[in-house]
Structure 1
Amino acid sequence: MQADPAHNILRYDRQPLTPFFAPKTVAVIGATEKPGSVGRTVLWNLIGSPFGGTVFPVNPKWHQVLGIKSYPAIAEIPEPVELAVIAVPAQSVPGVIRECALAGVKAAIILSAGFKEIGASGIQLEAEVLAAARQGNLRIIGPNCLGLMCPTSGLNATFAGRMARRGHVGFISQSGALCTSILDWSDRENVGFSAFISIGSMLDVNWGHLIDYLGDDPETHSIVIYMESIGDARSFLSAAREVALSKPIIVLKAGRTKAAAQAAASHTGALTGSDDVLDAAFRRCGVLRVDNINDLFNMAEILAKQPRPQGKRLTILTNAGGPGVLATDALIRGGGELAPLAAETITALDQILPPHWSHQNPIDILGDATPERYAQSLAIAAQDPNSDGLLVILTPQSMTDPTQTAEQLEAIAAQIPGKPLLACWMGGQDVAPGELLLNQAGIFTFPYPDTATQVFNWMWRYHYSLQALYETPVLAVNEKCSFDQACQLPQTVRNAGRTLLSEFESKQLLAVYDIPTVPTRIAASQDEAIEIAEQLGYPIVLKLHSYTITHKTDVGGVKLNLANAEAVGIAYQQIQSGVAAADFLGVTVQPMVSLEGYELILGSSPDPQFGSVLLFGTGGQLVEIFQDRSLGLPPLNTTLARRMMEQTRIYEALKGVRGRHSVDLVALEQLLVRFSQLIANHPEIKELDINPLLVSEQQMIALDARVVLYEASVDLALLPKPAIRPYPSQYIAPWQTSQGLSVTIRPIRPEDEPLMVQFHQTLSEESVYFRYCHMIKLQTRVAHDRLTRICFVDYDREMALVVEALDPETGEKQVLGVGRLSKFHGRNEAELGILVSDRYQLQGMGTELLRRLVQVGKAEGLERITADILPDNTIMQRVCTKVGFQLQRSADLIRAEMVC
């Protein structure tokens, strides 16, 4: 049927943003000859750049502008207009947009200011503009923006003073003023652009739309972004994750201070700042965040030219000790490591270097190093299996030849296998010719060694983030347990007018998700507490049972290590006397658990942009003091859970330290996954803390838990939706084939990669050819990078259903068929594909998959579903007709189409 969804690059003629970047006709509404005006500058820039289209000025007060006939209204232009650039006062924009929509204009850039940045009246104007645009399917960039340039075609639809250089960097900025500064800077630094976009206040077109477009653009090799606000978080993360797999995305985000109000009652809330959450979101989708403009473009160029380091170990080669020490300090401070030299590397270097070389990393080849010595040393160091990257430092000493050394390195660079090579040529103008040679060879050079190692640290972190998108996670255990009880409990409490679950209720909720808790019982009297204690066995813990008090330790509501009935009775009285009668409902009684192990915190709190945010780290009473934590976005899989753990200092201890054995890290991963499922399944939960979560070699148990719900008056539909769409379990359903085989049809999961490998081994060449319209070898179809994209789908963009059954001989799970809906970028339409194992064809499976996909498409609000079918694939044609698709025949393909 259609092309491989893992490599389905949308053609430009089907991209709805194409009129912004390649318009055949442009109207400048508000064009004028007034010197210094925006309307005049935009018109001049358009006619002064050979983009190949026709420009029409629109202004009822002028008969011609800059020698070009002017029209009183866009409806008067004799040709269809694809792009309108609007430079009129804000109050006039809604009417102009209505006229554009009626005239069939496809895209508009609103340069005008005076919208939401001025307050309520501007917000109302934006609402009117958007409503008018929606009536005509008109897309908008802006308002309050500089416009956009497409240097590859010559289009300059801005009021900037100069045209950007042509290159391969796609640049998007929220700040128009910064755009003009970047243009000046890029001219000096010889940085070129494939697209240069000022996005403004993102009334319509947002980060995600533009990332999708630039991801499809063959002229764009990397994407750099200056961001002030993220806007639609899910759209950004969804697009960035897809594109980051093939093109680096680097972001400079303004504002690293904590701006979000913190919930005083929540440990998790106190540890979570909006900027920290943004960092976690960037890591989740493979985006690299930097701190200044130089780094923004440097990283774009380096990541586009150099291979990514597979780890954090760097080999430093230098002709002077001091710069090597500076480089080492910066490397270690940034989290990198010096690569230990292998024995064979030291032996090989001994053969070519003077006796007094450093014999360790950094490799000091001494001040009299010749170009040949540099080249030979680099060739040896590059082969060291312990090294993930190389940095060559040159200081201009009397016997140093920077230019010839650069020539030697250029020849060696092509032979270095899959490792980045960076260079630091110190010395200003004396080393400039050598720097030029290195840069032309794709070897990025730096003036200072600490800057070079900082960049290396960013490179391996970027690779570290991308790895999470490629690694195959392990399926969390107990994933099929029923969550009916869990779904009812929080909502029942919320309906009763309470927002705080008692400790007992909280532990009930955790237990449903198989998160181990201490056996806990409620006692409403002193005698009942003693009776329960006798049953459980001493020592005993008593805790305040209350629906209103948040932190029990603050009011003396926790009594530990009670050894007998008398101690239990006294503790009960003390807890009761320490709080008001209205807050006291009794106590919880639980056995005293050995505190041998590590105290962790696991929590969730809301973020205004990203919805619920997960927290993992060092717990206990001093949790806010230590602030050893990492953040993540639900839902997690085991790979993402491990990444959260790795980002904390406590993780090193969890692996085993000073004679202690490692905790069960696999079980801890799966516990985090189940916790994230809990959060994803319960939007009514505002905050949840498990503190402490006690872990050791022998046990893993939640000693205390606190769950806060949103008030019943809060409309959950109006809360920030999760930044990552959870697993769509509503599409799981059983089915039976015509041969009586019971199967489950469900959405695909990242953990399905091994099953997909086995599935592809069952396919005939004919089935493969009919599905992909060309032959793909088995080795290619089951390659890890390809299957990662197929299994680790974004459910907002794709929906793949697999048919799962148990192998009757082995009892193991197997995939028998796959159906997929892939949405087109920027359009509410999708393309479908179906593939069934040869052994299970002609049993109704393809028809059922197609019916299910149509149901999913309608539920997801799609407007149209299409498929391209080979003329020889008569079975698929009959299936499509049976389900209600219309077939249109052409010479090469048959198009199946359904309007949902």
Structure 2
Amino acid sequence: MTRTTAYDIWRAGHQPLRPLFAPKRVAVIGASEKEGSVGRTLLWNLIQSPFGGTVFPVNPRRSSVLGIKAYASVTAIPEAVDLAVIATPAATVPAVVAECAAAGVKGAIIVSAGFREVGAAGLALEEEILTIARQARLRIIGPNCLGVMCPPTGLNATFAATMARSGHVGFLSQSGALCTSILDWSLQENVGFSAFVSIGTMLDVGWGDLIYYLGDDPQTRCIVIYMESLGNARSFLSAAREVAYIKPIIVIKAGRTAAAAQAAASHTGALMGSDAVVDAALERCGVLRVETIEDLFDMAEVLDKQARPKGPHLTILTNAGGPGVLATDALIRAGGKLSSLSAETLQALNQVLPPAWSHGNPVDILGDATADRYLKALQHCERDANSDGLLVVLTPQAMTDPLAIAQDLATYAQNRPSGAKPILASWMGGSTVKPGEALLNQAGIPTYGYADTAARIFSYMWRYSDHLQALYQTPTLPLTITPPNRDSVSQLFEQVRSEGRTLLTEWEAKTVLAAYGLPVVETCIARSEAEAVAAADRLGYPVVLKLYSPTITHKTDVGGVALNLPDAAAVITAYQQIEQNVTTAVGAGHFAGVTVQPMIPWKGFELIVGSSTDAQFGPVILFGTGGQLVEVLEDTAIALPPLNTTLARRLIQQTKISRAFAGVRGWPALNLALLEDLLVRFSLLVVEQPWIKEIDINPLLVAPPDRLLVLDARIVLHQDESMFVKPAIRPYPSQYVRPWQLRDGTPVLIRPIRPEDEPLMRQYHATLSEQSVYLRYFHLMKLSQRVAHDRLVRICFVDYDREMALVAEHQGAEGTEIIGVGRLSKEHFSPTAEFSLLISDRWQRQGLGTELLQRLIQIGRDEELRAIHAYVLKDNEGMIRICRKLNFELTAGDDPSVWFVQLTL
């Protein structure tokens, strides 16, 4: 028995973007017979490339265009139009869109220019168009775009000169001019497309919409994107995180060398360029960023044809030393590594290769290598457990037969099991190697003209694989589970703002950090010499004095720091000197006293942890080497919050200083779990407190093996709430964490699921009977399938913007267990969601299913959904009883054994 899925609905034509890609009736508004005009080219392309539908020219001044009956307006067309292609002057477009809305058109492509790119007047036109379109649920691509091609169906709704070949690459571009260049290149290189879309200024349909569409499209195997701006960051990241797991998404983004954002007052702001934030965002959602157009399509090809490498180690097999060296350089520069051949592999190669072979990697099998020598060497190299991929390089030499070697390599590759190590090839040369190169490409082995290009492509493959592994690597629970004191932070921020300030004092900043469980050095405020001495006496000498000021950002810039003060006399002298320094530099009004803290004698590393608000992505976290030379050293990495322990560790590992954490020159190794825990709590602070604009912890003193201490901190608040920027990735929805009791009085905690829940979910599935599994999934599923890592991580790694899963957690004698799960999954293009429930057999008939569904209903209302629904087997009496109790409407479908249940919210 089968059930209706989202894919079935998509195929049935109920997908809102489908009219843009698979229309049956198309109106060309602005159709013309004028040679060279956009209106004429659009019409001609649509009729010259049959797509299985009807085309209606719209031109109020002509009775026909290109011999086809024309209509005065789209409302005059006697049939329902699916897609309108609009090529009229910008000023007329709002009225045209209004006519489309009145005619019930569901999709429009606006190729016209003259909108936001010309200034405020054009932007006002866009706002008018969008208001009309939203009211009519009309989806728009553009304006200022080339149009849309769907080569598998023959649709060419563009004004390009030629039609793209049919294939499996979905191509999205913000540049219409680049589209035409790519189109010419693709015809020459025989690259085919499932969709070819110029998106213009993304007035309505954006990256997220198109990624979801192509993710569902069975014709699309890979999505490649030319991007100039990101638009709705949360929409893009949410869609990409879901789709990238099943289909590669490869991006080239213009503007990598553009000037970074203006330096902020904080170290973090000064170090955080906008392009680096984009890199961090793309990595976080499993998207691969490349440097060149050639790499963009090379990666589309190689990820379609070859398995992803499990590691960065490449074995290079070559008949010439020079190309092997060049490939090695390119590999290392791109972040890959040469594999270290095992003793067993070296011994095996010694038996099949001449004595003069290189005896290492690259494996130089010499210029007289035959096809048999290539094949035997390749077999031994692939068996080596240290190798994650293979590159076979051939240069045309007198004894070389490029075609014969290619034939043996192709046969060998095709007889390997699926998922075997990737094999790339470089057949270097001109016409003599072309037949062999063509044979390899046909056999699914991507082949490149230069060995260094192939090595770089392998590094990209590993980077992509690594991103995906990180995306779904199960984290551990953080060490600190004590909830933060959010109320005290809110009250402090309110007090600061009531005083007309945005800059917190050092003492206030440390108070905020302590409220979230970060270890801060004890700090006392002293407004006089006597108070400073009293504080120092209590803390114990030596001490540190720092300027206490509500206005000055960097204390060292005005001589506001005195270190290692051994006694009271030194404290008095330092107090006087700091006051004098500040008065001389900026005026006495900026001096409000000093802070006193103990001089920490630990030997350790000075680190920086910071956050700054990006206009698109919201809070962004920075970590790296700190101290006074932080901007000079520039050893930092950035990531998007929220962080878990796995993401925190990856952030740490991106810095050079992290190499010392393993222990170096007599230093013990650092307990990384402590640093990960601190970063997780810091990320919680920045996503939960939207008033924070910038925050620096510099330095964070780390003394291996297990001591961490915040020595200095600085926080700047936003001026007002209008400056808040939501985190690009929705944080854990703690508002849905609430206790409850089963009917028998057993206490449970109902909360949103977490990535760390994978082990608990594995135990939970072991408690389910075959009957419960059948009623939930409509078929039996083995326990081994249900608890497979690839499945459970996708269940536990919830994008809370798109999906919400609640678990019921019980603390029993044997520890924590999950006893029930309820899930609400939003439809991609509709304000509705599908729900599911499954309660562990032992805990059924305790009211838990009803409670979980009631909470899911409330979440649906909070998310402004219009309805939630599910498909329920008629044999599932318990689920049907809950649905009736909560006023769901039950409808019989095509399958007599299934109810469709829906509740309008």
The TM-score bracket by the shorter chain reads over 0.9
Residue of structure 2 equivalent to 1:367: 367
* Cα pair 1:491 1:684 within 8 Å, conserved: no
What's 2:667 paired with?
Answer: 660
**1:11 CA drift (Å):** 4.8
Give the aligned partner of residue 648 of structure 2.
Answer: 641
Amino acid in the other structure paired with 1:354: P
Aligned twin of 1:519: 522
Q: Does 1:69 align with 2:69?
A: yes
Amino acid at match of 1:603: G
Q: How far did residue 264 of structure 1 move?
A: 3.8
- Preserved contact between residue 490 and residue 685 of structure 1 (Cα < 8 Å): no
Taking the aligned partners of 2:41 and 2:716, their CA distance within structure 1 comes to: 56
Against the structure 1 CA distance between its residues 80 and 7, is the aligned structure 2 distance closer, same or farther, given a 3 Å change threshold? closer
1:323–1:378: structure 2 CA closer, same or farther, 3 Å change rule? same
Per the TM alignment, residue 213 of structure 1 is displaced from its structure 2 partner at its CA by 0.3
Equivalent pair of 1:599/1:692 in contact (CA under 8 Å) = yes
Q: Distance in 2 between matches of 1:7 and 1:215?
A: 10
- Structure 1 residues 263 and 186: CA distance shift in structure 2, 3 A: same
Counterpart of 2:192 in structure 1 is 192
Give 1:443 deviation, angstroms.
0.7
Distance 1:834 1:11, change over 3 A: farther
CA distance change for structure 1 residues 662 and 5 in 2, over 3 Å: closer, same or farther? farther
Matched residue of 2:95: which SS?
Answer: helix
Residue in 1 aligned with 2:475? 473
Residue of structure 1 in register with 2:733 after alignment: 728
Q: Which one-letter code corresponds to 1:672 in the other structure?
A: L
- Residue type at the aligned position of 1:770: L
In 2, Cα distance between equivalents of 1:653 and 1:29:
65
Aligned twin of 1:132: 132
Residue 82 of structure 2 corresponds to residue 82 of structure 1: yes
Give 2:579's aligned amino acid: Q
How far apart are 1:860 and its partner, in Å?
0.5
Summarize the alignment of residues 89-108 of structure 1 with structure 2, pairs less than 5 Å apart.
89-108=89-108
1:607 and 2:607 aligned: no
Cα separation, partners in 2 of 1:428 and 1:615, compared to 1, 3 Å: same
Match for 1:435 among 419, 434, 437? 437
Which residue, out of 636, 653, 677, partners 1:670? 677
Shift of residue 258, structure 1, vs aligned partner = 4.2
Cα distance in 1, alignment partners of residues 342 and 901 from structure 2 = 60
CA 1:12–1:198 in 2, change beyond 3 Å: closer, same or farther?
A: farther
Show the counterpart of 1:502.
Answer: 505
1:708 partner letter:
V
Alignment length, in residue pairs? 895
3-state SS of paired residue (1:13) = coil
- Return the alpha-carbon distance in structure 2 between the equivalents of residues 245 and 213 of structure 1: 15
Contact 1:286 1:465 in 2 (8 A): yes
2:53 is matched with 53
Matches within 5 A, 1:241-320: 241-320=241-320
Please say if 1:415 is aligned against 2:426.
no
Counterpart among 645, 650, 657 of residue 657 in structure 2: 650
CA contact (8 A) 2:610 2:694 kept: yes
1:504-549 deviation per Cα after TM superposition (whole angstroms, max 9, x unaligned): 1111111121111111111121112111211111111111111111
CA distance in 1, matches of 2:656, 2:306: 31
8 Å CA contact 2:602–2:703 kept in 1: the answer is no
Which letter maps to 1:136? A
Report what 2:170 is aligned to. 170
Relative to structure 1, the CA distance from residue 742 to residue 140 in structure 2 (aligned partners, 3 Å threshold; closer, same or farther) is same
* Cα distance in 2 for residues equivalent to 1:125 and 1:720: 26
The structural deviation recorded for 1:107 is 0.6
1:482–1:277 Cα change, 3 Å:
closer
**SS of 1:803's equivalent?**
strand
Which of 867, 872, 888 matches 1:869?
872
Residue 626 of structure 1 aligns with an amino acid whose one-letter code is L
2:462 is matched by which residue type in structure 1?
W
Q: Are 1:263 and 1:270, in contact at CA under 8 Å, matched by a contact in 2?
A: yes
SS in 1 for 2:902: strand
Q: CA deviation at 1:13?
A: 2.5
In the TM superposition, what are the counterparts of 1:850-865 in structure 2 within 5 Å?
A: 850-865=853-868
Q: 2:716 aligns with which of 691, 697, 708?
A: 708
Match for 1:48: what amino acid? Answer: Q
**Residue pair 2:802, 2:826 contacting (<8 A) in 1 also:** yes
In structure 2, runs of 5+ residues without a counterpart are none
Per-residue displacement from partner, 1:310-362 (whole Å, max 9, x unpaired)? 11111111111111111111112222211111011011111111111111111
Question: What's the offset of the Cα at 1:778?
Answer: 1.1
**1:34 Cα deviation (Å)?**
1.7
1:798 corresponds to which residue? 803
Alpha-carbon deviation of 1:482? 3.6
8 Å contact 1:602–1:616 — kept in the other structure? yes
Aligned-pair identity (%)? 63
Q: 1:773 to 1:385 in 2, by over 3 A?
A: same
- Match of 2:220, as an amino acid? T
What does 1:190-269 align with in structure 2 at a 5 Å threshold? 190-269=190-269
- Any conservation in 1 of the 2:261–2:274 contact (CA below 8 Å)? no
Aligned-residue RMSD, C-alpha: 1.6
- Tell whether the 8 Å contact from 2:760 to 2:818 is kept in structure 1 after alignment: yes
Instruction: Report the 3-state secondary structure (helix = DSSP H, G, I; strand = E; otherwise coil) of the residue aligned with 2:508.
Output: helix
- Aligned partners of 1:4 and 1:492: how far apart in 2? 55
Q: In structure 2, give the amino acid aligned to 1:523.
A: A
Which position in structure 1 is the counterpart of 2:391?
A: 391
Q: Which residue of 1 aligns with 2:892?
A: 889
How big is each residue's C-alpha offset from its partner over 1:717-756, in whole Å with a ceiling of 9 and x where there is no partner?
x533211111111111111111111111111111111111
Aligned equivalents of 2:866 and 2:3: distance in 1? 21
Higher deviation after alignment, 530-539 or 390-399: 530-539
Q: Deviations over 1:217-266 (max 9, x none)?
A: 11100000011111111111111111110111111111113445334421
Change in CA separation of 1:699 and 1:258 when aligned onto 2, cut-off 3 Å: farther
| Aligned position for 2:552 | 549
Query: Which of residues 735, 739, 743 is equivalent to 1:738?
Result: 743
Structure 1 residue 412: Cα displacement: 2.1
Q: Distance in 2 between matches of 1:266 and 1:3?
A: 55
* Distance of aligned partners of 1:692 and 1:12 in 2 relative to their CA distance in 1, 3 Å threshold: farther
**2:600 corresponds to 1:593:** yes
Counterpart AA for 1:695: V
* Paired letter, 1:450: D
Moved more, 669-678 or 769-778: 769-778
AA of the residue aligned to 2:806: L
Render the CA deviation track for 1:658-683: whole Å, top value 9, x for unaligned.
23221111111111111000000111
**Residue 444 in 1 paired to residue 446 in 2?**
yes
Whether the aligned pair in 1 keeps the contact of 2:607 and 2:624 (CA below 8 Å) is yes
Partner deviation per Cα, 1:364-408 (whole Å, 9 max, x = no partner): 111111000000000000010001111111111100010000111
1:32/1:65 contact within 8 Å kept: yes
Contact map agreement 2:410 2:443 (CA 8 A) in 1? yes
1:681 maps to 2:688: yes
Q: Give the match for residue 157 of structure 2.
A: 157
Match for 2:26: what amino acid?
V
Evaluate the alpha carbon distance shift between residue 3 and residue 10 of structure 1 in structure 2; reply closer, same or farther with a 3 A threshold: farther
Query: In structure 2, which of residues 802, 815, 820 is the aligned counterpart of residue 817 of structure 1?
Result: 820
- Letter of the 2:150 counterpart: C
SS of equivalent to 2:641: coil
Partner secondary structure for residue 109 of structure 1:
strand
Report if the CA contact (8 A) 2:317-2:365 is conserved: yes
- Counterpart Cα distance in 2 of 1:667 and 1:654: 12
Query: C-alpha separation between the residues in 1 aligned to 2:668 and 2:319?
Result: 44
Residue 34 of structure 2 aligns to a residue whose secondary structure is coil
> Using the alignment, how far apart are the partners of 1:179 and 1:76 within structure 2?
34
Is the Cα contact below 8 Å between 1:685 and 1:709 reproduced in 2?
Answer: yes
2:13 counterpart SS class: helix
Code of the residue aligned with 2:118 in structure 1: it is I
